[in-house]
Structure 1
Amino acid sequence: MDAGNSKTDVAVLGADGAVLGAARGGGFRPPAVGADRAVAGLAELVEAALAQAGLAQRGLAQAGAGRVRHLSACLANADLPVEEERLAALLSARGWADTVTVANDTFALLRAGLPDGGPHTGVAVVCGAGINCSGLGPDGRTARFPAIGRISGDWGGGGHLAEEALWWAARAEDGRGAPSALADRLPAHFGLPGMPELIEALHLGDVPAERRHELVPVLFAVAAEGDEVARALVARQAEEIVLMATVALRRLDLLDEPVPVVLGGGVLAARHPVLHEAVLALLAERAPKAVPEVVTAPPVLGAGLLALDETGAPDTAYARLRAHYA
């Protein structure tokens, strides 16, 4: 299971790595609805995937031991160890599998970018709706960040970039800030004549708040055209991505080792040239031995690989699962 801020994927795997059933649904947001309701909201997806695989969830619960050996759940908003523990207990209580492990969804991205035969050592940075980073050292140590927002020192991700683009566009429009094409391009995306109209539409709900993420590709397009305000925002995002990666590498004593730095999430996977090139340049400067890799496969692949790790699957199972999501 990979449950992110914007979508959730559930897959049922055979011991040979075959995907027997799958389902996709909306985002997983315990802070908004509470952990109990968030986990209960996964039931429909789990049951759909189990049914597709020929397994009845009711039968699993009645059997007690269950016919699913292990549930590997990589969850957004499982940002603190105590949250992982609470979510693991709630998932275990559903009776979907014999055993359950819960990890932050950054570990799914990291696992997807690491070789199956090991070593499972490296760092991953997710930049999608939000931003986060995790790392694994050769001695089993982990490096991670709370990634709760501004109170934990975070900057960036699609939601934050959209807000920054709107802030700078509003100030460009009314003269409080530097001129920027964002003042015209952001409202034009919604078919509006200018920032006053977009501000009003967002404030009154005529443009729903959940559509703000659509402004991120607009920001990158304006940056690619040379707009200084937009380019400064993209440069700041690249700085934050590389800063997280290098801090994690340093914590794990890997800064001078040739280890993978896995990049993923919607913003990074899109490989917007201005951002992508800035990230690679900064990594080459600050962590020259790091090996950057962009993962575009769905994060549920990483959760599946972790499940195969847990159950001691053969090498052929890993290859089969990766081929399914290639």
Structure 2
Amino acid sequence: MPYYLGIDGGGSKTHALLTDEHGFVLGKGQSGNGNHQIDAAEAKRHLAGAVNEALKSAGVKHDDVQHAYFGLAGADRETDYRILRPLVAAIGLPRHSIDCDTMIGLRAGTDRPYGISVICGTGTNCAGRNRFGEHLQIGGFNYMYGDFGGGGALNIEVFRSVVRAWDGRDEPTLLTDPLLRLLGYASVEAMFNDYLDHNKTVPVDAAKLLFEAAAIGDAASLAILRRQGTELGQAAAAVARRLGMSQDVFDVVLAGSLLTRGDTGGWIRGPLEELVHAAAPGASVALLKVDPVFGAVWSAMEADGGTIAPEVCERMRALGDFAAI
């Protein structure tokens, strides 16, 4: 029986899912950061840990896997692949492929072989593939290289919004009390001095406070989330234009926890969708409703030369979230 393994490695978590050719789940594994750009040694350990857990739970050996497909945050340029090829090879799966996590998110969210994927999780990324198989990625690096946002940057936006409201540069914000509770301070002054004196970093979880405050009308939070949507929309529109997709019908798949779980009020999606439709009127913006690791499994099957029957996708999509399996 052929076994297929999909791996989704992000900045805060790694998921591994093992199935047979019919899409029946046989094993799964979970670990932490799988992005080598954050910490290569840690990513190697977490990727191997998730893979080993999935195989062990199914009683399957590494050599028995017909194909494994790694969709990894940080798999952006040839420089990255020179690091990732030996890192992934050391895990011991003889037949495997490596791609950016944007592509497995796209594969999981559309039935078309082309489209655009937008990720907003710990970081942000945007990539697409046109009808001719041409691929383009825009973003996925950091602020200096044109990006904005993701949980690993919006957490700082929360912190600085609270500081600016406290020192009088901006109006008061409803982010202040939730941030103080999250970080364990009695006042902004105490937080400010402790962070400055000890060079502390703001936890990524602080980004989640934006959605709670936006839901009750906080102006600072709404402005930050709208900017996030605008930035992502500009990236998707640029991909569509540069790949010659402006007149095509395709899906723009939104993935990443800030989009799929946090943005319940459409604060990010609204401006994103406006910019996408202006650039490509035939595009449909769709929220990814299944775990991106499903796209990695299907990509593994296709990399092995197979064609996936519709019932395989339907069976796996019915499982929903990785945590529910």
Name the TM-score class by shorter chain: 0.7 to 0.9
RMSD: 2.4
Show the counterpart of 1:300. 293
Match of 2:60 among 55, 60, 72: 55
Distance apart, 1:108 and its partner CA: 1.1
Q: Between Structure 1 and Structure 2, how many residues are aligned?
A: 311
Contact 2:30 2:49 in 1 (8 A): no
Residue 298 (structure 1) shift = 1.6
Counterpart secondary structure, 1:324: coil
Matched with 1:39 is 44
| Aligned residue runs from structure 1 range 205-244, under 5 A | 209=201, 212-244=203-235
Q: Which amino acid aligns with 1:193?
A: A
Trace 1:136-285 onto structure 2 (pairs within 5 A): 136-203=129-196, 209=201, 212-270=203-261, 271-273=263-265, 274-285=267-278
Extract unaligned runs of 5+ from structure 1.
61-65
Q: Report the Cα offset of residue 284 of structure 1.
A: 3.6
Residue 72 of structure 1, aligned match among 69, 72, 89: 69
Normalising by structure 2, we get a TM-score of: 0.87
Per-residue CA deviation, residues 303-322 of structure 1 (Å, 9 max, x unaligned), is 11111212204403333333
Match of 1:107 in 2: 103
Deviation at 1:88, TM superposition (A): 2.7
> Structure 1 residues 214 and 86 mapped into 2: Cα distance closer, same or farther (>3 Å)?
closer
Shift of 1:288: 2.7
**How far apart are 1:146 and its partner, in Å?**
4.8
Q: TM-score, normalised by structure 1?
A: 0.86
Aligned to 2:315: 320
Assess, with a 3 A threshold, how the Cα gap between structure 1 residues 16 and 280 changes in structure 2: closer, same or farther: same
Gaps of 5+ in 2: 1-6
Q: Distance in 2 between matches of 1:287 and 1:195?
A: 45
C-alpha distance in structure 2 between counterparts of 1:38 and 1:230, whole Å:
32
For the residue of structure 1 that corresponds to 2:319, the secondary structure is helix
The answer on 1:7 being equivalent to 2:13 is yes
Kindly indicate whether the alpha-carbon contact (under 8 Å) linking 2:33 and 2:43 is maintained by their aligned counterparts in 1. no
